[in-house]
Each structure stands twice: as C-alpha cells, then as structure tokens.
Chains A and B, each alone.
Chain A
Amino acid sequence: MAEKGVESKRLKEVTSLVRKGARRITLSIGDGANDVSMIQAAHVGVGISGQEGMQAVMASDFSIAQFRFLTDLLLVHGRWSYHRICKVVTYFFYKNLTFTLTQFWFTFQTGFSGQRFYDDWFQSLYNVIFTALPVIVFGLFDKDVSASLSRKYPELYKEGIRNTFFKWRVVGIWAFFAIYQSLVLHYFVLAPTSSGINSSGKMFGLWDVSTMAFTCIVVTVNLRLLMMCNTITRWHYISVGGSILAWFIFVFIYSGVALPKAQENIYFVIYVLMSTVCFYLTLLLVPIAALLCDFVYQGVQRWFFPYDYQIIQEIHRHEPDNSRVGLLEIGNELSQDEARSFAIAQLPGQKSKHTGFAFDSPGYESFFASQAGVFVPQRAWDVARRASMKSRAKTPRKN
C-alpha cells in the first residue's frame, strides 16, 4: 500500500485490518512521514529513501531507493531469502540430529551409564569450527535460479506463499535421513573393530573408534551440504574443504601434544588410526553409505516430482551466467517501450541508487530527458504537454 497525501492514521487502520482481520501477510511501502505508522503496522515495512526525507526509511524493515526496486526485493531477494532460510534451518537441525543420535545409539552399548562417545573438545567444537562455515556460505550465496530468471518467472514466488520448503513433510524427511545416517555412522564404524585391525593384531580402544566415527561424521555432513547446493562458488569449496582440513589439523595438534591435562584419552589416537588400512577403508565406505539414501531420494525427487525452480533450472541450463543484475540486454531489436525504458533508465536521476522518487515521475520524464539530451516522446499525462495546454491554474497531480 502506498498512497500520497492520505492521512497516516487511515493508512495504518487499513493495514491493520488486512493484517489482523483478513489474516494475511502484509507489506506496506511508502516514502513519507505519513507512511511511518503504516510501515510499522504491516508485517514487512519498506521505506523509500529520497525526496521526502528519511523518516520512512528509519521506520522500515527494508529500504530501497526507488519504487521499481520492489520487484527485485520481493521476487529476487525475498524469494532467495526464503529458500536459503528453509535450507539453512533444516540443515542445521539435520547435522546436529545426526551427530547426537550417534551418541544416543552408543548409550545402548554402555549399560546406559552415560559414557560419552566423543571427547569433550570434539563435541564442543563440532558446531563451532568443523561444520559452521559451510552453512553460512550456503546461506549467503545460494541461488536456486538467477536474478533475471526470478523476475522472468514471478510464479516462483508462490513457493514461499505455499510454504513449500518448510512443511512438516520436508522436516520429516530430513529427520528420517538423519536417523538413517546416524545408524550407518555408528554401526559401520564399530563393526570392523571387533577383531585386530592391522597386521600386527592390535585392537582399537574406545577413543580410537570415536575419533574415527567423528572424522566420518564431519566428512559426511559437509558433503551433504554440497549435495544441497544449487550454486557452488569457490567459497563453498574453501569452506567445506577448510572445515574438514580444520578438523584434521585440530586433531593432529590435540592428539600430538602431550598437554599436562588430567585425562589423555586422545593422545596419539589419530596417528594410530592413520597407520591402519582399516581407517582409510572405513573413511571411504561410511560417508558414501550414509549419503547413498539421500542421493537416491534427490535423484528420484528431481526427476519424478520436480519443484518449479528445478524445471526452470533445466530449461535455462545452457544459458551463460548473466549475473549482472538490472542490466537490460541491449540487442538490436528493442521494442518501442523497451527503448524508451532504457533511455529513461540512463537518466541521472534514475541511475542513482541512493536517492529517488517513490514514483517514477512519469509525468516529468520527457522534461528530464530533454534536459539530458535524450528524446522521449510525450505521453498523455506528461506534465510538459499538459502545461502547454490552456488549463485551470491547478498544480498538476501526479498519478
């Protein structure tokens, strides 16, 4: 809702009516001081920075410079945000569920005495160092489709309206795979250790097995993140590879240094592990066996029950990555309207990202354009045209 010259109380009342009465998600947009209460009353308040001052901007959740940027705000960035938040939240629960369940299965083997499976430091740093960065990178950069495609297919916005990616069914599927993976990660790691694990016949102890399991988990959940990415930048490789590398560096140091700690459970464990073939074979087997189910599910889902954005990805899969947002394709065939829009977009007032009118000042376009040396044919509502007509002494109203 955006209105000029309407009393702010009226604006607020209408917004609240829609919000509470009709129980809809509301967005209101405005640029003036009279819009502030309306902006605050809606779920999402958008303020336009510009000629009428900054009050609307300061009261708003999002501020944009021009009214026409609202398209991008909703269809591109809003939609991407929804997609990213859903995935980040469900992934976060998945990785913690998988990790914690492996401990849970262990309680059955310890006589329910509450012995931890992992060393305390492993457990504390799991979420802080070894699995933190990749999900942040995903949340920052993932795009299901590019910005221009988001604008071309506004129907994609419906996925957010229908809450397609955060239904109970989606959460349940993540939970199911977390349980499956935790079972694989726990039992597949324990099973090979029941007899001598290398040619010298020696046996693994509790901390050897748990370090091996932890390594497998860190690798598995990080690879799972790559599987859910639609866009993979080099930061993805750096964060995923870096997290796994950070784990190895940490455990090399932690188990290599004989610190005067009370208990030295993990002393030298990783070096003992890495001297056996069993460790490498387990490290190859377990993540793949754990992710197998997810992979099958993704293959089946994508092919037989695809989401809209997946179809659009496929339709446009051969197009080059035109990631420059906002630039019109300057081909040789522009229609009249497109040529006109392009010419106007080049005007200084329109090019600025920081100031602007709430509206595109359609009445003044030809005037500004002629000032900048661009010819733009006059429209019926053009101010200059109407001013040239004999008329009553009234200020021209903007539409």
Chain B
Amino acid sequence: MGDSRFTQQELPACKPILTPRWVISTFMFVSLVFIPIGVASLFASRDVVEIIDRYETDCIPQDFKNDKVKYIQTPGEKTCNRTLTVPKHMKHPIYVYYQLDNFYQNHRRYVKSRSDKQLRNPNSENDASACKPEDMANGMPIVPCGLIAWSLFNDTYSFSRTNQILTVNKKGISWKSDRDHKFGKNVYPKNFQSGKLIGGANLSSSIPLSEQEDLIVWMRTAALPTFRKLYGKIEVDLQEGEVINVTVENNYNTYSFNGKKKLVLSTTSWLGGKNDFLGTAYLTVGGLCFLLAMAFTIVYLIKPRRLGDPSYLSWNQNPGGH
C-alpha cells in the first residue's frame, strides 16, 4: 500500500452542500427549462388532428349480433361501410392506423414465436424450432414461421370522398432498418397459412419478405395490449367537414377474446401523433418545481436556520445526555 493520494484517500474533492440557495435555484432552473418544452410539446400535440372510429361491434350484421365469432369465421366477404367526418383541416400525409385493444402481442409465448434467422436468410428456412406450433405444415417448414406471422392482421380499408377514391400509399410504412436488414430480399413466403387453422392474412409467395410491409409492421411486436400499427398514408389534404366513406373488410377475428378494433386517421407533428403526455408531464414537473421553489422560499423565510448553527448538534440540544 503506497502513500499516494489515492491510497491515502486524500484526493482533491468537492464537497457539495445542499443549501437553500442550491435547492431553490435547482427548482427554478428545472422549471425554466421544462415549462417551455412542455408548452411546445403540448402545442405540437394539439395541432395534430385525429379521427378514431371503433367498428368491430357495428360491423356485425344484425342477424349475427349474438354469435359474432360464428360470423367472423364464416368464409366470404364481410364488407362494412363506415363514415368519418373530418373535424379540422388535415394536412397530408395523413396516416392510417388500425388499433387493437386487448390483444397481447407482448405475451411471452407470442413474442418468442418467431425465427429471425429464417426471416433474413433463405437457407435458414428449417430454423423454425422456436415457432412451435406454427413451424411445420404438411411436413414442410413454414416461412415465415411462428404465431406472430400467423396472426397477421387482415382487415382492409379503402377510402373515398364524394365519389373520388383516396389512394392509400402502403409503401414506406415500416422502419427502414427492418426492411433492409431483418427481412431478407430473397426470402419468399412458403407454405404459409396452409394448415387447418388460419390465423390471419395470407402472403403472396412471389413478393420477398423485405417488401411485405404489412408483415414487417405487424412483426414489430407492440409493448402494450392496446396498440396501433401503421396501415398506410393518404397523400392528399382533407378539408374540415368533409365526409369520408370507408369500406372495411371485416376479416380479423377479435371477437373470440373481446378485443376491439379501431380505425385511426391522424396527422403528425415534429413530435409524432396525438399524445398529450409529454407536454402535460413537462408542464406538470416544471410547474411543480416552480411551486416547490416558491414553497421552499417561503418556508426558509418563515423558519430560517443559520447555516452551520451549532445549536442543532444533538449533543448541544440535550445537555442532560442521551
């Protein structure tokens, strides 16, 4: 053991003391930084226009209201017409999402039911062990295997206004890193949805996985049981008061587990979609810090204590000993 400053614990050090001045200044500084950020975030969120339309109950015809599961499992077209009214002018691009409630994409057995190797590499198509029971069908491996791919969402939406069709751009809805690296450019769906139980959409076996953006978006499993996923973009503006007609193909079975389906149209800001949370949280914390700074100032004025007042030492307070 040497005699260096390190081993003798004599390193130069600063000894911060939390004086009232520091407490109040810190609170004021935080509120000065947070309140403008909160205001900016809240304004950004308020600027976003969002239309949410819950349709899974209304899209069941009257005859089947008591047996929704039977209805959804009957083959054939299940078209449903919805109308949306635009509340405020919406600038393009307008993002179309589908939102599912009570769907646990974050369930442990669901999350692990995929094979990233298989998705990337055509030679790894047999690497499907994690995907049980959706790994093999008719003795052949399924590409892409697993419950996540098998349960691909398959409702479709088409939009029109006053007899003019609004095209939905379905390109570029997934993260670029997924398209470029996670899903192979030469991996094609094989043996997909060929078993007895069909869980969702089918995939064209002539389009490589890197271009199957619906699948890519769906396979980025959501964190919470209520989530929305990007369906496409509408590249024209929508005026206030316009009536949009939506033709929904109600294919996806959420009725077996009381899930909800919602169609969402939303503009975005620099901060993203309509979410007041960040703005509110910043304002709350900033405001709270400001109030605390005021409160501490008042308390320090009313009940002052001299810094380093020896009468607070415990042995000076109890002259009779402990």
A contacts, CB < 8 Å to B: 109-111, 113-116, 140-141, 143, 155, 158, 162, 188, 190-206, 208-210, 229-235, 258, 260-264, 267-268, 271-272, 276-278, 281-282, 284-285, 288-289, 292, 295-296, 298-299, 302-304, 306, 308, 310-317, 321, 323-325
Looking at B72-80, B135-143, B226-234, B243-251, the stretch in contact with chain A turns out to be B226-234
* Chain A contacts for B19, CB-based, 8 A: 314
Q: Write 8 A-B pairs (CB below 8 A) sorted by A numbering.
A: A111-B107, A193-B224, A201-B233, A203-B220, A231-B14, A232-B13, A263-B130, A267-B182
* Chain B contacts for A313, CB-based, 8 A: 15, 17
Taking the complex as formed, is B108 at the interface, i.e. its CB lies under 8 A from any CB of chain A? Answer: yes
Do A196 and B104 touch (CB < 8 A)? no
A308 CA / B314 CA spacing, docked (Å): 6
A201 CA / B233 CA spacing, docked (Å): 9
**Partner of B285 from A111, A203, A205, A288 at Cβ < 8 Å:** A288
Taking the complex as formed, is B16 at the interface, i.e. its CB lies under 8 A from any CB of chain A? Answer: yes
Do B224 and A205 touch (CB < 8 A)? no
Taking the complex as formed, is B309 at the interface, i.e. its CB lies under 8 A from any CB of chain A? Answer: yes
Do A262 and B226 touch (CB < 8 A)? no
Do B18 and A110 touch (CB < 8 A)? no
A340 CA / B44 CA spacing, docked (Å): 77
* Chain B contacts for A262, CB-based, 8 A: 115-117, 130
Q: A202-B230, A317-B17 are in contact. Are A110 and B268 (CB under 8 A)?
A: no
Q: Which residue of B lies closest to A299 (CB)?
A: B23
Q: Which residue of A lies closest to B305 (CB)?
A: A303
Taking the complex as formed, is B194 at the interface, i.e. its CB lies under 8 A from any CB of chain A? Answer: no
Most buried by A among B15, B26, B228: B15
A196-B266, A295-B26, A308-B313 provided; 8 other pairs, C-beta below 8 A?
A191-B275, A194-B226, A196-B230, A201-B266, A206-B105, A263-B114, A278-B271, A292-B289
**Partner of A190 from B95, B175, B224, B268 at Cβ < 8 Å:** B224
Tell me the minimal C-beta distance from B51 to chain A in angstroms.
Answer: 13
Within 8 A of A (CB), among B264-313: 266, 268-275, 277-278, 281-282, 285, 288-289, 292, 296, 300, 303, 305, 307-310, 312-313
Chain B count of residues within 8 A CB distance of the other chain? 87
B contacts, CB < 8 Å to A: 8-20, 23, 26, 30, 34, 37, 41, 50, 93, 95, 97, 104-109, 111-112, 114-117, 130, 172-175, 177-178, 181-182, 217, 220-230, 233, 266, 268-275, 277-278, 281-282, 285, 288-289, 292, 296, 300, 303, 305, 307-310, 312-315, 322
Do A109 and B220 touch (CB < 8 A)? no
**Partner of A111 from B104, B217, B230, B289 at Cβ < 8 Å:** B104
Closest CB pairs A-B (n = 10): A195-B273, A314-B308, A196-B273, A201-B95, A205-B220, A268-B177, A315-B308, A115-B108, A113-B108, A299-B23
Do B305 and A292 touch (CB < 8 A)? no
